[in-house]
A and B are shown apart, each in its own frame.
Chain A
Amino acid sequence: MNPTPDTSTAGNGGNFDPRQAAALLDQTTQQTRRRLEPAQPWLLVIRAVVVLAVFGAVWLNVRGQHPYQHPTAAVIPVVIIFGVLNLVATVTVARRATAGVSGRTRMRWAEIAVGAVIWIAVFAVMPALAGAGVSDAVVYGWYPVTVPLIAAGLAWAGITAARADWRRCSIALAVAVTGAVALSAGPAGAWAVAGVGLCVTLLAHAAVIVWQQRRSVVRP
């Protein structure tokens, strides 16, 4: 790496070599991209592993059921805790990264509320479905796996498209597509398909962010 000059006292560019300038431009841009990124790659990788573990555990729990009934009660608190921790970690990291930033980079409370309301509404419908006599395969299989992904994915895609944030819009659409594909896998298989699909989507998102952050400005 080329040495970068001491910038604390620099007043003019008299001795500022173009190679030093290129190194400083790249270094500053890459540091800024890392520090202002609302979705930190390390958090996305942790989330990918946890998603695979949680959905995989549920799939192992239900795959032998004929006919399909539901995951054991012990799984439900794990899924709820994961959902809440995920939301809190996402919001905390995003707000810390975008502190002092005004404009469309910053996540707005209204957008966070839309996400939370969709998740709550989707799961609030479950007891109504069970009460209406809908089969266990739908109420405890297809519905809780696929509908939250499709609903949240499409809502988030709409929000990010309105901000012209096409990277996040693509990821949100991939989440919705994962939910739609899981619909075709049966009530037990839906958990496995959704787990693998979300894991791959999150890892891909982390990889894209790292690539974008390391991309050189001077040497494209």
Chain B
Amino acid sequence: MTTEELDPLIHVPTRLKIVATLAALPDGDSLSFTRLQDMLGLTPGNLIIQLRKLEEAGYLSSEKTRNGSVQKTTVALTSNGRKALDAYTQALRGLLNGL
């Protein structure tokens, strides 16, 4: 088994942290953009770029809600995202066992 078998979308430190953080929530729960940013210590620009890549792959979904003048964005891992992380973790286990 080689590192090429690891999902390249997840096998990036920043995106792995995003996916791992969202996966720690129960299925169906979502996290606000600001709390996610606070937890990961990323700049808004960097976080937006990484979230967009994961969303384009169907690994997470985002929702924008407006309360008066305040806009809130929440993100959640999709079932595809959860499956991808499970597969990534399995592949990682296989690689580590072979080391």
A24 to B10 alpha-carbon distance, docked (Å): 12
Shortest beta-carbon distance from B59 to chain A in Å: 15
Name A16-38 residues within 8 Å CB distance of B: 16, 18-22, 24-25, 28-29, 31-33, 35-36
**In angstroms, how far is the closest chain A Cβ from the Cβ of B37?**
10
Minimum distance in angstroms from A107 CB to a CB of chain B: 13
Chain A residues 131 to 155 lying within 8 A of chain B, measured CB to CB, are none
The reply on A120 being an interface residue by CB < 8 A is: no
How many Å lie between the Cα of A19 and that of B98 in the bound state? 11
Tell whether A218 pairs with B14 under 8 Å between CB atoms, given A28-B20, A28-B21, A102-B30. Answer: no
Q: Which residues of A contact B14 (CB under 8 A)?
A: 7-8, 10-11
Residue of B nearest to A5 (CB): B13
Q: How many residues of B contact A (CB 8 A)?
A: 37
| B13:A104 contact, CB within 8 angstroms | no
A-B contact count (CB 8 A): 108
Q: Render B49-63 as a binary contact track against A, CB cut-off 8 A, 1 for contact.
A: 000000000000000
Q: What separation, in Å, do the CA atoms of A100 and B76 have in the docked complex?
A: 12
A4 and B21 CA atoms in complex are apart in Å by 16
Q: Is the CB–CB distance between B8 and A100 below 8 Å?
A: no
Q: Count of A residues near B, CB < 8 Å?
A: 36
Q: Check if B13 sits within 8 Å of A99, measured CB to CB.
A: no
Main secondary structure of the interface of B (DSSP, over half): helix
Q: Is the CB of B13 within 8 A of A10?
A: yes
A33 CA / B20 CA spacing, docked (Å): 10
Question: What is the minimal beta-carbon distance from B56 to any residue of chain A, in angstroms?
Answer: 16
State whether the Cβ of A184 lies closer than 8 Å to any Cβ in chain B. Answer: no
What is the bound-complex CA distance between A207 and B98, given in angstroms? Answer: 33
Q: What does the 1/0 interface line of B12-43 toward A look like (CB < 8 Å)?
A: 11101100110111101111101110111110
A29: chain B residues within 8 A (beta carbon): 20-21, 23-24
Query: Chain A residues in contact with chain B, CB under 8 A?
Result: 4-8, 10-13, 16, 18-22, 24-25, 28-29, 31-33, 35-36, 99-106, 165, 217-219
Give B contacts to A, CB under 8 Å: 3, 6, 8, 11-14, 16-17, 20-21, 23-26, 28-32, 34-36, 38-42, 46, 74, 76, 89, 92-93, 95-96, 99
